[in-house]
Structure 1
């Protein structure tokens, strides 16, 4: 029986858009002045979305209960999106491009063999945050979306992922966040209303 992690059953990412990946990493090779800032953002930029969610919570304190429900659901959406994405990774077991294309330029260290590429975890969680924040405030959601797009681009630039890893990650994160946020606004708002009348009022209103 073939192992689920064998190369015969794994997704061959290089055959999908390995050429485009190579073009992007070649661009990174010739823009050394940009390597440091992009590496810093791709490594620590997820923390920026925690700040966005705090801003969303602060905005929601002045709005109706469904908005606060969506703000409280944003971190839940991120966690669930990560879980779904990790499950997808375990099914497709796509090797990282640094292993399939070892001679391409690489900024981020090549991860262990069992750390698969498809889809991108970083991109999934920030995409989930961005979509969730649209349910709180459109302007905040737009800013978060721009930051998420930069994160996705950075994952290819540093050599960690193929472009399709990032594109599918946007879909996974976005769909999970939409379902969670829509459900929170529809079904959790009455609970927020009740809590606003109790000891948690300073946090929720």
Structure 2
């Protein structure tokens, strides 16, 4: 009895275990259909959802982006980062060797017993987080939806009793770090590949066929009309006008100030002399 009381006391003190028991306790009162749905989602159901989001992001916004090769490379990296995160999770589990929650704690309603002996970190959470971060770098809308799916994955892992909350948090950190830290070299290589692919017959995989169409005739006419109005528009009234130069070569400053030129003065004197004679 003393050992059981000590275990209950330690569970109440440890927030990781108390959150586990609180979330997993919801499974006791939920309908069996809900338990089956959450169990399927906690496996690789939500991983398939984020991969479907990546496919939709590639098909619409990535191929229609201004720099389509870079955007398509970003979506490809999101999927590759998920696989790399799952592979990196294997040595992490062997190094930490944290047992599953049901091994050390009684009274849990365990819905999923698979997934190996060790629980830290969650491989599914790492994969979903890697895809979410990778998509967020390409398109914020798809990335935000994928981040919500990642949070749902972490909740499902704790709900089924197969992982601690810190296992899901560790998976999120592993997936995000994989997608961010390895992104520069991976994107440089993938962008070069997609740019080369865009110049082949498989260019539709990189760029949407309608994204590089020439402008329509109406757009051309509107552009020509705009250019014509620009050429024929009157000059700004505030801009200074060039000074007019007299025909006899007199500088503009003298003509404006009323001072006659020497040539004109001699002509006037010659005319006056002729009239006097």
- Matches of 1:181 and 1:56, distance apart in 2: 18
CA RMSD in angstroms, aligned pairs only: 1.9
TM-score by length of 1: 0.85
Paired position in structure 2 for 1:17: 16
Kindly indicate whether residue 110 of structure 2 is the aligned counterpart of residue 111 of structure 1. no
Q: Give 5+ residue unaligned stretches, structure 2.
A: 1-10, 208-277
Contact 2:46–2:128 (CA under 8 A) maintained in structure 1 = no
Cα distance, 1:24 vs. partner?
Answer: 1.6
Cα distance, 1:187 vs. partner?
Answer: 4.6
Paired position in structure 2 for 1:29: 28
- Matches of 2:31 and 2:105, distance apart in 1: 20
Kindly indicate whether residue 56 of structure 2 is the aligned counterpart of residue 55 of structure 1. yes
Q: 1:119-175 CA distances to partner (integer Å, 9 max, x unpaired)?
A: 111111001110111122110000011011001100000101000000111000011
Q: How does 1:1-205 map to 2 (within 5 A)?
A: 17-32=16-31, 34-43=34-43, 44-58=45-59, 59-63=61-65, 64=67, 65-108=69-112, 110-111=113-114, 114-205=116-207
Cα distance, 1:197 vs. partner?
Answer: 0.6
Paired position in structure 2 for 1:9: none
- SS of 1:197's partner is coil
Q: Which runs of 4+ in 1 moved over 6 A?
A: none
Tell which has more relative contact order, 1 or 2 (C-alpha 8 A, sep 6+): 1
Q: 1:43-67 CA distances to partner (integer Å, 9 max, x unpaired)?
A: 3222112211111211211121221
Contact 1:93–1:116 (CA under 8 A) maintained in structure 2 = yes
- Matches of 1:158 and 1:70, distance apart in 2: 33
- SS of 2:178's partner is helix
Q: Give 5+ residue unaligned stretches, structure 1.
A: 1-13
Greater radius of gyration (CA):
2
Count of residue pairs brought into register by the alignment:
190
Cα distance, 1:186 vs. partner?
Answer: 4.1
